[in-house]
Chain A
C-alpha cells in the first residue's frame, strides 16, 4: 500500500490548517455561507437536511487496519456511532458539527487520510477496481496509476473551479468492477502491440439525469504521458464545458454536443502543446509509487482448497469470495447488506472489527467497493472458516454478494437535501421481502440499485433492476427500470412503465422476478433473460 512521505504529509497538514482558518473565519462571520460553501465542499463537508455531512476520501478504495480503525473511532467520537460507505468508495458521516470538522480532518491526517476534493466542482477522489492487486484477471495493479493521478489532481490550481464535478476511475482488467465507463474519465490500463503499458481513455460517461456511456477518446496513451493527456482532457473541458446550466455542465454533455471526434481533435491539439511543457512526472516516480503496491506479502506454494464441511460457511464462501491471482488465497467480500439493514452502513464496532480482521487475515489491507461493501483482498483459504465465524458473529456474514439483497442505495430523503424520495426504507423493505437466502440464490445475480432523485447517486441507470424515487404532487413515487449494467457489458436501464408507491414497487419487483424464473433459459441471469425476451412480458405481468 502507498505510504506518505514528508511531502504528502505536509500537503495534507497544510490543508487541515487552511480549513481550520476558513472555518474560524466563517464562524466569526468574516465570510458568507455562499463564499464558504465551495471551501467546505472541497473538504468534503456538505450541509444536509439535518446536519453537516462529512465525506472522507478513501483513494481508490484502499486502506489499512489503522486507517479503518480511525474511521470507526471518528464515528464514535464525532458522529452517532456509525458510518456510511458510498458508491464512490468513500465513507460519509451524517451527523457532524461544523466546529468539529477541522479536528476530524486533523485526526484523519494522523493516519494519512483526508477529505480533500470529495465534493465541489473539482477532480474528485479517484476510484478503482476493488480487487486491484488481488484479481486473477488483471493486467497490472491499476492503483499506482490512480495514485499518480491522485497526486496530480490534488490542489490542481487550474481545475478547482470546473463547470461541474469530475470523476475518474482507473481499472486494469477487462472485467469492469468500477463502472469505469460511467465516469467523466474512465481509464483502462492496457498493453499495446509492442508490449508497452499505457492508458486507454474513455471520456464523457456519467449517470445523473442524462446517463451516458463514455466513448473511447484515445486507445493508447503511453504510461509516461498519462498526466499530460489528462491535463489536456481537463483543460478543454474547463474552457468549453457549459456553465450556463448546471444540469448540462458535466463533460458528457460537452462530448455529446460537439461529438467525440471534435472533442478528441481539441484534446489532441492541447496535448501536443502540453507535451512541450514537461509536466509529466518521470518514470522513477511511477516506479517509486508502484513499489509500494508490488508485494503485500503473499506466501507462495499454498494449496488450493479448504474445509467446506459447515454448509452455512460453504454457501458464504461460494457467494462472497473471488479468485485470487496467488494460489491458496481468496479475495473476500464482507456484505454490508444484512436483510432489513441500511446498505453501506456499518457501526463503529463493526468498522473496528473489520480493521482487526484485516490485520489478522488480509495482510493489513481492506477495500471499499462501489457496491458499498468491504473487501479483505488477501485471505488465505485456510483462514476462511475462522474469518467467516467472526464476521457472522458480528452480523457481517450475509452471503448475498451480487444477489438481490446486495442493494445499492443512496442516502435519499432521510439525509440528502437534493432527494425527492426516501431510498433507505425502500431498500430495507425489499431486502426483507427477499430475506430468504435460498430464494436469493435461486434468483441468482440480480443487481438492484435505488436512487432517491434524478442525480442517480444510487446508480439506478446501471441496475439490472433500477429504482428512481421522484416527487409526484408531494408524494413519493418510484419509477422502475430494467436492463442496466455497469460491468464490461455496460448498458443503461430503461423505464418500464408508470411509477409506484413504496409498497407497490416491492410487489412489482416480486412479480418481475416471477416472470424471470418462468422464462429463464439454462444459465441465464435476470438481465440476460430481460435482454432476450424484452420488456413486454414483464410489463404485462406487472401492469396487466
Chain B
C-alpha cells in the first residue's frame, strides 16, 4: 500500500514504534501511539509530556471523530506531531489542519503542491480553533 507522509513541522519525524492505545497505556516510556475513532483521546492527557507522535486513525474519511480527538489533544497542550492516518483525502486537509493536525499519512498519496493549495483554501476563518489563526470576529473588532 503506497503511503506518503506530508508534514508541516520542521523537526524530524519520530522514529518511535507506534503502539495501540491499550499497549501505550500499559507501557511507561513509549513515545508514539495510534488512536482509533472510538477511543477516547482524553486517555492520553496524563501522558502528553512523553508523547512525540500521536497518530489519529481515519479508517473512512466520513468518520469525523478524529477531528474532535485532535482538537482535544491540542486544547490540552499537546505539542508533538499529530498525524492523520488512513483515508485522508485532499478535500479534508484544510479542516484537519485547523483541528491541529500537522502530519498526514494518506493511504492514497497526495501531491505536495495540491496539498499546499488545499491548506490555503480559506482566506480567513470564522472559528477560533487550535491552529493559531485569528477568527473573523477578532479581526472585525481589532482583538
Question: What interface size band does chain A fall in?
Answer: 35 or more
The answer to the question of B127 belonging to the interface, with a C-beta cut-off of 8 Å to chain A, is: yes
Known A14-B122, A152-B126, A162-B64; contact A157-B98, beta-carbon cutoff 8 A: yes
User: Complex: how many Å from CA A413 to CA B74?
Assistant: 47
Residues of A within 8 A of B124 (CB): 7, 10-11
Least CB separation from A284: chain B residue: B141
Over the window 262-299 of chain A, the binary record of Cβ atoms lying under 8 Å from chain B Cβ atoms (1 yes, 0 no) is 00000000000100011101101100100000000000
Over the window 35-66 of chain B, the binary record of Cβ atoms lying under 8 Å from chain A Cβ atoms (1 yes, 0 no) is 00100000000000000000000000111110
| Residues 3-47 of B contacting A (Cβ, < 8 Å) | 37
User: Complex: how many Å from CA A433 to CA B86?
Assistant: 58
CB distance from B104 to the nearest CB of A (A): 14
The answer to the question of A350 belonging to the interface, with a C-beta cut-off of 8 Å to chain B, is: no
User: Complex: how many Å from CA A121 to CA B62?
Assistant: 9
Residues of A within 8 A of B135 (CB): 281
Residues of B within 8 A of A223 (CB): none
| Residues 137-187 of A contacting B (Cβ, < 8 Å) | 151-152, 154-162
The answer to the question of A490 belonging to the interface, with a C-beta cut-off of 8 Å to chain B, is: no
The answer to the question of A235 belonging to the interface, with a C-beta cut-off of 8 Å to chain B, is: yes
In the complex the two chains form, is B64's CB within 8 Å of A7's CB?
Answer: no
Residues of A within 8 A of B143 (CB): 282
Least CB separation from A273: chain B residue: B75
The answer to the question of A518 belonging to the interface, with a C-beta cut-off of 8 Å to chain B, is: no
User: Complex: how many Å from CA A216 to CA B128?
Assistant: 27
Known A5-B140, A279-B128, A285-B137; contact A10-B123, beta-carbon cutoff 8 A: yes
CB distance from A430 to the nearest CB of B (A): 39
In the complex the two chains form, is A157's CB within 8 Å of B91's CB?
Answer: no
Over the window 93-104 of chain B, the binary record of Cβ atoms lying under 8 Å from chain A Cβ atoms (1 yes, 0 no) is 011101100000
**From A5, A35, A243, A277, contact of B75 by CB (8 A):** A277
The answer to the question of B125 belonging to the interface, with a C-beta cut-off of 8 Å to chain A, is: yes
**From A39, A159, A238, A273, contact of B91 by CB (8 A):** A39
| Residues 86-124 of A contacting B (Cβ, < 8 Å) | 121
Known A152-B127, A238-B67, A277-B128; contact A161-B89, beta-carbon cutoff 8 A: no
Residues of B within 8 A of A156 (CB): 126-127
In the complex the two chains form, is A161's CB within 8 Å of B126's CB?
Answer: no
The answer to the question of A33 belonging to the interface, with a C-beta cut-off of 8 Å to chain B, is: no
The answer to the question of A455 belonging to the interface, with a C-beta cut-off of 8 Å to chain B, is: no
Known A155-B122, A238-B64; contact A7-B141, beta-carbon cutoff 8 A: no
Residues of B within 8 A of A235 (CB): 68
The answer to the question of A239 belonging to the interface, with a C-beta cut-off of 8 Å to chain B, is: yes
Known A7-B124, A11-B123, A158-B71; contact A288-B140, beta-carbon cutoff 8 A: yes
CB distance from B54 to the nearest CB of A (A): 16
Most buried by A among B61, B65, B123, B127: B127
The answer to the question of B121 belonging to the interface, with a C-beta cut-off of 8 Å to chain A, is: yes
The answer to the question of A22 belonging to the interface, with a C-beta cut-off of 8 Å to chain B, is: yes
The answer to the question of A38 belonging to the interface, with a C-beta cut-off of 8 Å to chain B, is: yes
Least CB separation from A288: chain B residue: B140
The answer to the question of A261 belonging to the interface, with a C-beta cut-off of 8 Å to chain B, is: no
In the complex the two chains form, is A238's CB within 8 Å of B126's CB?
Answer: no
User: Complex: how many Å from CA A278 to CA B135?
Assistant: 11
Residues of B within 8 A of A22 (CB): 91
Residues of B within 8 A of A8 (CB): 136
In the complex the two chains form, is A282's CB within 8 Å of B123's CB?
Answer: no
CB distance from B98 to the nearest CB of A (A): 4
Over the window 475-501 of chain A, the binary record of Cβ atoms lying under 8 Å from chain B Cβ atoms (1 yes, 0 no) is 000000000000000000000000000
Residues of B within 8 A of A239 (CB): 65, 68-69
Least CB separation from A279: chain B residue: B128
In the complex the two chains form, is A11's CB within 8 Å of B126's CB?
Answer: yes
**From A14, A121, A277, contact of B123 by CB (8 A):** A14
Residues of A within 8 A of B137 (CB): 151, 281-282, 285
The answer to the question of A471 belonging to the interface, with a C-beta cut-off of 8 Å to chain B, is: no
Most buried by A among B37, B89, B140: B140
List 9 A-B pairs, minimum CB-CB distance, nearest first: A161-B64, A157-B98, A157-B95, A281-B137, A7-B136, A285-B137, A158-B67, A151-B126, A10-B123
List 4 additional A-B contacts (Cβ < 8 Å) besides A10-B123, A238-B67: A38-B62, A157-B98, A158-B68, A277-B75
Q: List 20 A-B contacts (CB under 8 A).
A: A5-B140, A11-B123, A11-B136, A14-B123, A38-B62, A121-B62, A151-B137, A152-B126, A154-B126, A155-B122, A155-B125, A156-B126, A157-B94, A158-B71, A159-B67, A161-B92, A238-B67, A239-B69, A243-B65, A279-B127
